[in-house]
Chain A
Amino acid sequence: MRLSKPKKHPVIDERLCKKCNICVTFCPKKVLDARTSSAPAVARPEDCNACELCILRCPDFAIDLEEAKER
Chain B
Amino acid sequence: MSQGRVRLLQGNEACVEGALAAGLRFFAGYPITPSTEIAELLSERLPRIGGKFIQMEDEIASMGAVIGASLAGLKAMTATSGPGFSLKQENLGYAAYCEIPCVVVNVQRVGPSTGMPTSPASADMQQARWGSHGDRPAVSFMPSSVGETFDLAVMSFNVSEQLRTPVVFLLDEVVGHMRESVTLPEPGSVKVVDRKKPTVPPDKYIPFAGEADLVPPMASFGDGYRYHVTGLTHNERGFPTQDAKVATRIMFRLMEKVLRVRKQITFVDYHHVEDAEIVVFSYGSMARPSLRAVRDAREQGLRAGMIRPATIWPFPAEEVRRAARNARAIICPEMNMGQMALEVERAVGPGTPVLRLPKVGGELHTPSEILEAIKGA
Q: Do A and B touch (CB < 8 Å)?
A: no
Q: Which residues of B contact A (CB under 8 A)?
A: none
